[in-house]
């Protein structure tokens, strides 16, 4: 054997990675709280639940008049409706004192708080004042011109889930809900040592036979890019004792140690010799069948990664991204890296306005067919929505001469940030806090989820069309008295979820509800104009339950549609409504009274073509997990 020893065991890349990962402790390193202005680029350690509604009040979108929509029905230019104008002029940042009753209206500014009793805004250009009367020349529908409290975000709603890397979009969401500090995973401290007598730091005068240390700069910045904290430990000369001391000190203070150079087995290559002295387990791979990067040395000490990267810069950065970067991301609680730019196919037909260039926010959903392009799903067009922008992966540009983008058409998606990922699991359907918990677990395990709350009926339809992986539904078939199963087609499979109690929410001490059954209370108040309800969105299972309870009645507030259970509770807590229907868990969290109505089945519908997708398999495994079931039970979700 010559003085230049040969590699003893050159192995393939996958085997080297397997050995390396088995030797490491890869759980995130613990949470710490940081100020919002320091949160950019950090990874959420816990789900974020909004403490407030956004907007925080029912807000007018126009200058005009706050009205009851029913008072405008039939109005046109030739036959205006006359309403009595109240004295109060509702400006911004003012809580109105007026109550809009039948036949009355009040002047309101854009951004003003909509007064009690009003459910729509007549734009100023569609009305005319005459003395103390307002002539309305265009009818409006309930909800027109009003951004209801919680339209964007509702108090108690999960707005961001653990594992999300915070970009400016997410920090904007956090600011919008008033959060100034957030729990994030601690950044892994990565010690970086450069070795060799020939290495000098940038800024020093070049001397014959010397080399500037570019590797330390490249590796340190690469560590920062993926969420780590780079600890520059300087340059160590070819001195075994000095190098040993530096490595041991680095292991005592850092979560990972990277050495640059000295990985070959020549007489002056000391790094691998020092690392070879370690155990628990020490070196797991020295020599990998890569070009470039063959000399890499992978080791571990008490679960901490210790890696000797090749000295040549190209080899060093290549092997860093191949073996080290994924480990640092996992220690930082970050998801795996994904490509930033995508070509895709439009998931649904989209109409656009001729003459205007449109930028359409989209979410990308991977196809179950191997090799197929992802599908781009429109994420909404609300200019005031914070969450739509935060949840989108990118946008497509629709030219001003394009009126229609057909379903299946190829589109180019401009990604909104580096590191964004296509969703591994797309869930469309009814909202539930139990589902939030399950999606949080999936996100924590490294898969990216997307949830669209559109109600049970729309979720079922999306599953039928193959537009989602899972639909959460709770639909009662009135003919059979069975939940969910009667609505399935042969292409869908029903996975049993859990049961939850639906009931009437009200403020504690309200004598109209206290001590009564739900049916008796609703019968007593459904024709009482002083008792406002808050409804649910059409197509939701809860909306169907409400309509069955009301038996054709349309109480005041019926036209106000909350988009999830948390929004219903928020409306009652804030006295925008006096009652609504939601699940028991939400009532407990909001400390509201609860009158039970029905125990319903919240199940999951899955297109059979998607049953084998990894994220779907993971969801089904979680539903079978005893610990998960116990946690769901503690949240009020029974088996």
Q: What is the DSSP string of 347-388?
A: SS-EE--TTS-EEEEEEEE--SSTTPPPEEEE----TT-HHH
Do residues 484 and 494 make contact, with C-beta atoms less than 8 angstroms apart? yes
Task: Give me the CATH topology for the region 31-54+152-185.
Answer: Molybdopterin biosynthesis moea protein, domain 2 (3.90.105)
- Considering Cα of 414, then 418, then 424, then 429, what sign does the dihedral take? negative
CATH of domain 472-639: 3.40.190
Residue-level pLDDT at 605 = 97
Q: What would the pLDDT profile of 323-357 be if each residue is shown by its tens digit?
A: 999 999 999 998 877 545 788 888 778 888 776 66
Does this chain's domain 342-415 share its CATH topology with 472-639? no
Q: Taking the domains of the chain in order of start, what are their residue ranges? A: 13-28+189-331, 31-54+152-185, 59-147, 342-415, 472-639
Mean pLDDT over each residue of the chain, to the nearest integer: 87
Phi-psi region of 282 (alpha: psi -120 to 50; beta: other; left: phi over 0): left
Phi, psi of 305, rounded to the nearest 5 degrees: -75, 135
DSSP 44: B
Fold of 342-415: Beta-clip (2.40.340)
| In the predicted structure, residue 364 carries a pLDDT above the cut 90 | no
Please tell me what DSSP assigns to residue 184. Answer: E
170: phi then psi, degrees, rounded to nearest 5: -70, -40
pLDDT for residue 389: 60
What pLDDT shows up at residue 367?
Answer: 56
Triad 216, 218, 223: Cα angle to 5°: 90
Q: Which pLDDT belongs to residue 388?
A: 60
Q: Using pLDDT thresholds of 50, 70 and 90, give the confidence band for residue 418.
A: low
Percent of the chain residues past pLDDT 90, beyond the cut = 56
Q: At a CB cut-off of 8 Å and minimum separation 6, what does 160 contact?
A: 44, 47, 48, 170, 173, 174, 390
Cβ neighbours of residue 49 closer than 8 Å, sequence gap 6 or more: 156, 157, 158, 159
Choose among 397, 392, 395: nearest CA to 422.
Answer: 392
The more confident residue out of 7 and 543 is 543
- The string of pLDDT tens digits covering residues 137-192 is 999 999 999 999 888 888 889 999 999 999 999 999 999 999 999 999 999 999 99
Q: Where are the alpha helices (DSSP H) in 65-209?
A: 168-176
HSE-CB for 585 with a 13 A CA cutoff: 23
Q: Which two tokens stand for residue 188?
A: 């892994």
Q: Could you give the CA distance from residue 70 to residue 159 in angstroms, rounded to a whole number?
A: 35
Second-level CATH architecture of 13-28+189-331: 3-Layer(aba) Sandwich (3.40)
Find tokens 């196809």 and name the residue: 367
Distance CA 133, CA 175 (A): 42
- Dist CA 548 CA 564 (whole Å): 19
Residue 271 φ/ψ, nearest 5 degrees: -60, -45
State mean pLDDT over 488-508. 95
**Residue 283: both structure tokens together:** 């070196």
Q: How far is CA 583 from the centre of its chain?
A: 22
> H or E element: which one contains 429?
strand 425-429
Report phi then psi at 212, rounded to 5. Answer: -70, 140
The top-level CATH class assigned to 59-147 is: mainly beta
Stated as kind and residue range, the H or E segment containing 440 is helix 433-444
Of residues 163, 155, 536, 82, the one with CA closest to residue 332: 163
Any idea how long the chain is?
639
CA angle 460, 464, 469 (to 5 degrees): 80
């Amino acid at each position: 054997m010559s003085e230049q020893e040969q590699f003893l065991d050159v192995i393939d890349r996958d085997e080297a990675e397997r050995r390396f990962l088995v030797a490491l402790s890869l759980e995130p390193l613990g949470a710490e709280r940081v100020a919002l202005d320091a949160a950019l680029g950090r990874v959420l350690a816990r789900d974020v639940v909004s403490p407030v509604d956004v907007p925080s009040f029912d807000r007018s979108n126009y200058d005009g008049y706050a009205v009851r929509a029913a008072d405008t029905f039939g109005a046109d230019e030739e036959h205006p409706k006359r309403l009595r104008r109240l004295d109060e002029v509702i400006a911004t940042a003012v809580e109105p004192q007026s109550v809009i009753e039948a036949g009355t209206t009040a002047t309101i500014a854009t951004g003003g708080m909509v007064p009690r009793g009003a459910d729509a805004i007549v734009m100023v250009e569609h009305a005319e004042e005459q003395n103390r009367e307002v002539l309305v020349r265009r009818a409006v529908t309930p909800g027109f011109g009003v951004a209801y409290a919680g339209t964007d975000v509702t108090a108690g709603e999960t707005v961001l889930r653990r594992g999300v890397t915070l970009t400016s979009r997410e920090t904007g969401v956090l600011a919008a809900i008033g959060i100034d500090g957030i729990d994030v995973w601690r950044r892994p401290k990565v010690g970086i040592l450069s070795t060799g007598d020939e290495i000098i730091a940038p800024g020093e005068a070049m001397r014959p036979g010397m080399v500037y240390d570019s590797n330390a700069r490249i590796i340190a910045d690469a560590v920062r890019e993926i969420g780590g904290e780079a600890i520059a430990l300087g340059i160590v000369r070819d001195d075994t004792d000095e190098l040993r001391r530096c490595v041991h000190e680095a292991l005592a203070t850092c979560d990972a140690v990277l050495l640059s150079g000295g990985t070959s087995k020549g007489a002056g290559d000391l790094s691998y010799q020092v690392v070879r002295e370690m155990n628990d387990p020490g070196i797991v791979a020295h020599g990998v069948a890569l070009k470039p990067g063959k000399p890499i040395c992978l080791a571990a000490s008490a679960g901490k990664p210790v890696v000797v990267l090749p000295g040549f810069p190209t080899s060093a950065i290549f092997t860093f991204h191949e073996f080290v970067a994924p480990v640092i991301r996992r220690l930082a609680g970050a998801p795996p890296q994904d490509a930033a730019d995508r070509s895709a196919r439009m998931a649904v037909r989209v109409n656009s306005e001729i003459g205007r260039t449109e930028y359409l926010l989209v979410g990308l959903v991977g196809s179950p067919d191997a090799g197929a392009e992802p599908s781009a799903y429109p994420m909404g067009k609300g200019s005031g929505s914070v969450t739509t922008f935060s949840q989108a992966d990118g946008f497509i540009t629709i030219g001003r001469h394009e009126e229609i983008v057909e379903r299946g058409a190829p589109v180019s998606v401009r990604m909104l940030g580096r590191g964004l990922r296509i969703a591994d699991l797309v869930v469309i359907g009814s909202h539930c806090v139990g589902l939030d918990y399950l999606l949080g677990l999936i996100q924590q395990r490294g898969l990216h989820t997307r949830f669209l709350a559109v109600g049970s009926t729309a979720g079922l339809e999306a599953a039928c069309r193959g537009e989602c992986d899972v639909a959460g539904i709770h639909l009662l078939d009135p003919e059979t008295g069975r939940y969910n199963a009667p609505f399935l087609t042969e292409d869908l499979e029903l996975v049993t979820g859990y049961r939850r109690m639906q009931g009437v929410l009200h403020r504690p001490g309200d004598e109209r509800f206290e001590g009564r059954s739900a049916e008796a209370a609703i019968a007593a108040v459904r024709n009482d104009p002083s008792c406002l309800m808050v409804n649910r969105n059409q197509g939701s299972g809860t909306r169907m339950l409400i309509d069955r309870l009301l038996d054709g009645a349309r109480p005041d507030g019926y036209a106000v549609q909350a988009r999830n259970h948390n929004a219903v509770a928020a409306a009652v807590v804030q006295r925008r409504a006096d009652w609504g229907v939601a699940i028991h868990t939400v009532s407990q969290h909001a400390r509201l009274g609860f009158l039970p109505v029905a125990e319903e089945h919240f199940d999951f519908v899955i297109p059979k073509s998607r049953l084998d997708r990894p994220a779907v398999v993971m969801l089904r495994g979680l539903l079978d997990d005893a610990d998960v079931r116990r946690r769901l039970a503690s949240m009020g979700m029974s088996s």
